Structure formats: C-alpha cells, structure tokens
Amino acid sequence: MNANKFLESKKNKERSFPKDSYAAYWDISEKSEKTEKLREIVEEFSVLAGGPALVLGFAPADSDFTAVGQQLRRELPEETHLLVVSSEGGIYRQEGYADLYCPGMTTGVILHGFSRRMMRQVQILSFPLPDDDIRKHQVDMRLEERVDVLKKKLQQCHLEFPLNSQDTLAMTYMDGLSICENIAMQAVYESQCFPCAFVGGSAGADAAKRHSYIYDGQKTLERSLIICLIKLQPGYRFAAFNTNNIESILKEYTVIDANSTLQTVYKVVDAETGCQDVIAALKKTFGCESLVDLKRALKPYVFGTEIGGRLYARDMRHIEESHNCLHFHCGFAMGEKIMLLKYNGLEQHVREDWKRFMHKKTQPFAGIIFDCKIHRTEQKRADFADLFEGVDISGFSGRGEIMGIPMNNSLAAVFFFKVADGEFIDQGNDDFPVRYAEYKSYFTLRRLRHVQIVNDMERKAQQIVRRNILQQQCGDSVGKHDPADVAEAFSQALNEFNMEKILGYTGEKKMRKILATIKNGGIDSRDGEISTLVSYMQIMMDQLHAQRHMLEKQVRRMERYIRIYAKDELTNAYARRSGYAILRQLLGGPSDEVDFLTMAFVDLDNLKAANDLYGHEEGDIYLKTVVDLLMAELNDSDIICRFGGDEFVLALPNKFEENAHTLLQKVNRQLAVINACQGKGYRMSFSFGTLFYDYSEPLDVEAAIKQMDSRMYNYKLGQISEPDKKKKA
C-alpha cells in the first residue's frame, strides 16, 4: 500500500475513532482475492492511534509460510514490527460465533495490530537453538553445555530500551519441533538479561511434523527462539492469565534416570515400590498387565510438576516399550518430582480462573491466547468466548505453552488494559519478584536434585569398595567374601543409575561385560576380576566427586544471582515489593555468604521544595542523583530499594554499622558539593537511620524498618547516636 495513502487514510479514521487494537481474519484459500483482502485489513490498521507499532500473525504451518510473511511485510508500513508464527489452528473472537476456534481457521491467517499510542517500544530478537544433534535423535552435548551456548548468545544481544517488570513483556515463541523449550528458558534465566514476564508458546508443525516456522519481519526462521520485547506507554498495563483442567494428584514419583535433552524418562522411584522402570511403575499403580491396558488407564490423566505451589502439566508424546521409557513434549530432569495428575473439562476451570483473574480489573481491550492443540478436538473443545465480549482476541494452538516456564495442556494468555491510577490490581504483577525467583530457582533445584542423586551414587560406590577392601584385609575373620555378592552389588548400582548417561563414563560398558562374565561363571580368577571392578569403581567415585563439586559450585553461583528483577524504572533501585522480598530472604538467617548485615533507612530532604520550585522533572533528577551516588559506593552484594516516594532502604551484607555511617555521610558531603556548584533554591541531602543485625534473635522487615525510622527521626532532630562499636570490617 502506498505510504501517503496509508497516512491519509489513517488520519481520517483516527479523528473519528482511534483504537489501540484491531484483530482480523485473512482468508488465504482464494488466491485471486488474497491480496485485495489483505490490503483491506491493512487499511483497517489505520484506525490504530499513531499507526500500528506491532502486527502479530498466526498462519497455518502447511501454508506457503514464507510467501505469507513476505506479502505482509510489503503491505505494512516499514516502521511497523511484524511477527508471524506457524499454527496448528488459529484462535479468533469473531462476532456471531460462541467458539474461539471458528470454522475454517485452518485455511487463514489471524492478524492482530497494536497501536503506537499503546506500545512505546518494540524489539524482536532471534536466537538459533542448539539442537543439531537432537534433530538426529542423538545427544552430543551435555545439558549444561547446551544451556551455556544459548546463554552466551542472549548475553551478547543489544537491548534497545530498559526492561521493567511493570511495563515490559517478553512475548516468547520457539520452534515446536526443537524440544528445546526447557533449555531455552533455563538459558534465559541464567543470562540475567530479561527481568520481565515471559508469555508465549511453541510454534505449530506442518502435517508431516517436519517443520514449524516463525517469520521475524525479515526472514522465515526454523530451530530458533524469538523474544518480542514490548514496552507499554504510561496508562497501559498487561496481565498474564493461565489456566488448566487439573483436578487432583493421583501419584508422585522421583525421576532417577532421564535424558533431559531428549525429554525422556526411564526410571523412577517411590516409597512403596522402590526403583524401577517408569512403565513398570505405572502398570503397578493402575494394576495393568499389558501396555494396551496402561494406555487406556492413562487417558484421564496427565503428568506434571509443581512450582511455587502451582501445578504445570507435562504432556506425554508417546510410550516406547522397547526401551521402557516415556517421551514428553516438555521433559523432566533427574531428581525431579513427576506427578500423575487427573484432569477434567476445561471450560469450568477457565470460567472460575477468569473470575478470579478479573477481580479489581476493568475489562481488557485486547488479548493474545496460547492454547494446547488438544483443546481444539471435539472431545475437549470448550465454549467460553463469551467471557471476552468486546475484547479483540487473537492467538494460536501450538505444541506447547510458556508462562514463565514451558508447560503443556494449558491455556495461557496475556491481556492488555487501559487504566488510570488505582484501577488496576493484578496478583501476577504484584507477585512478579517472587514468581521470577521461583521460575529461576526451578532450574537451580533441578541441579540440586542432580547433586543429591550423585551423592547417593557416590555413597553406594564407597560402600562397595569398603566392603571389598575389608574382606581382603580381614579374610576369614569376617567371613570369606563371595565375588558373586560383590558383583551383585555392582549390578544393582549400575542398574539404578546410568553412569554413562550421567557422567559420560564409558567404563560402564567394560564393567557390565566383566559382571556378565562373573555371573555366568565363565572365569576362574574371579577375585582378580573383582579387583578390576573396584578399580573401575574408584575411578567412577573420583568422577562423581568432581561432578558433585562442580554442580554445587554452579548452584552456589546461581543462588548468588537469584535477585528479584522488579526495579524502579527512574532510579534503577529495587521496587518496594521486590525489596521487601529480598530483605525477608536476608533476614531469614545467615548463609554461606552472609554472616551479618547493616540496614539503613534513607529519607531525602526537601524533595517537595524541588518539585514546587522547578517541577517534577527536577524532583526526578534529585532522586536519581542521590541513588546514583549511593550505588557508586555499594558493593555488588549490597541492595538498595525504593521504599516510598522519597524513602529508600539499604541492605549491606557483612558491613558493620560504623562503616555504613561512613558511607552515608560521604554521600551527603558529595551532595553538599553539588549544592554549592548549582546554587539552586533547595538543598539536596538526606537523613538516615541504621540497624546492625547479627542473627542472634529473630527480626522481621517491619520491625527493622520501624527501628530505623525511629533512629532517622533522631537524626533529623540532630540527636545522632554513635553506632555500636563492632569489630572492624
């Protein structure tokens, strides 16, 4: 479309009814009319205030996907960001239909435009997924190596604007055939580059299950992770919505043998049956004899995991009886809990969860839905489109959903609201610091559980070695050792844990060969063979110890960086909620890295005078100046959060109170120098109160702030008490 015609049309329509969102259905089945229909839709985007900042498209994977993307790019204004995702079925709220999955959606493209009045900035990032070997159904890289490859690419990307959890959203899409969802999200959190909510899904595949596509506005991508960062204008908010049809938990197991990369589970353990193949464990749970009976018994159930008290489904792809394993769309890790969950109809759950979600919110004007493809089938279809009356809805059914972490068998969505002060309360946004930490620590805990299993393996190995050495030293005084008994002990250890898979230990094959020879009685000098086994086991113990040390080091490093990424956009200090969460964690007890701490409550003087004399921009400069000076004096482990409009709380781990006084007084002297140079009609300074805490008795955040506030009041009155004379830092 000609740019001048577009602008003229836009101006005419914007005068009468400017909008922030417009969703449409583009039927591409009639090739002769396809271009004309698209131009009509693009012209309708001119009703968007300021023009379209972003257009999202959801197109059938079996269509000429690249041609669809290129045609959209040609017709849309050059400055409009474009993103098209392949779908196994579009979602669209169409007038006159009670079903979001309207007839014919498999032959058309859902398009959704968003205004510049609503979106301040948009940036689309793409990253190749490290899945070359996975595509060949083999594993040439360790999970940690795979995560590190993607993490480094994420850390190298250039962000065009600052991210803030309250106004920035990461729309996240990835190749649905890559089975890299967990790897991608673990890399995202470990990169520490994206302190905002992640919502999205995995692109749908074509009928042959060979391709899934994403068009990023320039080219068609496969085997990629796409992050579309959206920063909203003031007065607009978003809220993430998630629901599933899980009713109850039937059974819990612990995974002790799994391939996280290929999303496959081999062995599980529970208190009742001990360690066994996962298929055998399930047959025992349901009392089934055959695989056919087991598949029938599993129909009302789905597998899942728990994070922060919330259940997340993990849909099973298929059962492979030849290898006694289960393949999942979203995998489990060794040591992780795997739950067998009963599910029921979706519609009732959507309606109940929507009612809770909408509490203290105005009706949204737009929404994007990411839905599990199985909800499109007639048996599972749910009619709840009436909930979104008057809301522009778009979306797609794909091979997985993302709500902070990957999941399946769920309905995830993000909704947009135009709000005034006090009109919008969303639990998800308010709790974002906690949820972000939960999602990030989910991957940390996976490593911790790995460490626990490695510890258990090392303990078993040590027992076997000690037993053999003791029998060799004491001989008949403890009873002559039977090589077959030692061989059996080795066999049990090897059968419970796949050493080659866990350690990359190729000696396991040699060990199994020797064991088979001993058991078959095919060797006379079995004592010599047992000595060889012990040597192998000692090598394996060394590897176990080295891996445990490496994992524990990684976990400590990850825990050190689990900071709650909700920050005040003006000052870059932590916001009140996130600051509270960090302080509660610090006050909870000493750790390997924090033995004691000093806290400080800081109250800026004369901020009102700065606002009254020079306007709020001057007040913002005042706030930022003070925080910048404070941050310049802080260590990496120190915390500063904005407690109120002109109040801040500092937490200084392993710093004594007198050192904190010295730091704060130094910054006040620096402000005095700035005052003298600027000569403005107000004076920049702050009052403060401090508190030393050594964990000798319990202390909560509210009590700590109350004490510091009292001491700050004395500071304002000029009654400054000397800090306790503690040991020098």
Asked whether residue 621 falls in the same domain as residue 672, the answer is yes
The whole-angstrom separation of Cα 284 and Cα 678 is: 79
Q: What is the pLDDT of residues 328-371, one digit of tens each?
A: 887 787 778 888 988 877 788 888 899 999 988 889 999 999 98
Residue 15's pLDDT band (boundaries 50, 70, 90)? very low
Residue 484's pLDDT band (boundaries 50, 70, 90)? low
Asked if residues 505 and 546 have their Cβ atoms less than 8 Å apart, the reply is no
Tell me whether residue 136 is in a domain.
yes
Q: Work out the percent of the chain whose per-residue pLDDT is above 70.
A: 75
pTM of the model as a whole: 0.68
Residue 222 to residues 40, 100, 173: CA-CA distances in angstroms? 30, 27, 11
Tell me whether residue 8 is in a domain.
yes
Residue 44 to residues 11, 55, 294, 330: CA-CA distances in angstroms? 12, 12, 53, 39
Strand ranges of the sheet holding 81-87, from the earlier edge strand across to the other edge: 21-27, 108-115, 52-60, 81-87, 214-215, 220-221
User: Where does a domain end: 559, 584, 607?
Assistant: 559
Residue 30, pLDDT score? 72
Domain count, the chain: 4
Asked whether residue 330 falls in the same domain as residue 360, the answer is no
Asked whether residue 93 falls in the same domain as residue 236, the answer is yes
Q: What is the pLDDT averaged over residues 3-11?
A: 50
Q: What is the pLDDT averaged over residues 234-239?
A: 92
Instruction: Domain of residue 76: give its range.
Output: 3-243+347-430
The whole-angstrom separation of Cα 506 and Cα 511 is: 9
Choice between 196 and 435, residue whose per-residue pLDDT is larger:
196
Maximal CA-CA distance, the chain? 102
- Which CATH number is 686's domain given? 3.30.70.270
Residue 218, pLDDT score? 93
User: Where does a domain end: 328, 344, 360?
Assistant: 344
The whole-angstrom separation of Cα 335 and Cα 610 is: 57
Asked whether residue 61 falls in the same domain as residue 189, the answer is yes
Evaluate if residue 535 carries a pLDDT over 80.
Answer: no
The whole-angstrom separation of Cα 430 and Cα 395 is: 25
Evaluate if residue 602 carries a pLDDT over 80.
Answer: yes
The whole-angstrom separation of Cα 522 and Cα 514 is: 10
pLDDT, mean over the chain: 80
Asked if residues 269 and 275 have their Cβ atoms less than 8 Å apart, the reply is yes
Asked whether residue 119 falls in the same domain as residue 184, the answer is yes
Asked whether residue 336 falls in the same domain as residue 358, the answer is no
The whole-angstrom separation of Cα 335 and Cα 345 is: 31
Residue 57 to residues 53, 71, 84, 303, 638: CA-CA distances in angstroms? 14, 12, 4, 31, 44
Tell me whether residue 445 is in a domain.
no
- Which of 110-119, 235-244, 576-585, 619-628 is least confident? 576-585
Q: How many CB atoms lie within 10 A of CB 510?
A: 12
Asked if residues 184 and 150 have their Cβ atoms less than 8 Å apart, the reply is yes
Tell me whether residue 724 is in a domain.
no
Residue 378, pLDDT score? 46
Residue 241 to residues 118, 167, 428: CA-CA distances in angstroms? 20, 16, 8
Tell me whether residue 569 is in a domain.
no
Backbone angles phi, psi at 270, to 5 degrees: -140, 170
The whole-angstrom separation of Cα 375 and Cα 377 is: 6
Q: What is the pLDDT of residues 280-317, one digit of tens each?
A: 889 999 999 899 999 999 988 889 888 877 888 888 88
Residue 99, pLDDT score? 67
- Which of 52-56, 181-185, 578-582, 673-677 is least confident? 578-582
Asked whether residue 105 falls in the same domain as residue 169, the answer is yes
Tell me whether residue 383 is in a domain.
yes
Evaluate if residue 229 carries a pLDDT over 90.
Answer: yes
Residue 155, pLDDT score? 94
Helices and strands, number each (H, E), in the chain: 19, 29
Q: What is the pLDDT of residues 109-123, one digit of tens each?
A: 999 999 999 999 999
Asked whether residue 497 falls in the same domain as residue 551, the answer is yes
Asked whether residue 693 falls in the same domain as residue 610, the answer is yes
User: Where does a domain end: 507, 532, 559?
Assistant: 559
Tell me whether residue 86 is in a domain.
yes
Residue 349, amino acid: H
Backbone angles phi, psi at 299, to 5 degrees: -55, -40
Asked whether residue 168 falls in the same domain as residue 52, the answer is yes
Tell me whether residue 371 is in a domain.
yes
The whole-angstrom separation of Cα 555 and Cα 448 is: 7
Q: Work out the percent of the chain whose per-residue pLDDT is above 90.
A: 31
Asked whether residue 512 falls in the same domain as residue 580, the answer is no
Asked whether residue 81 falls in the same domain as residue 208, the answer is yes
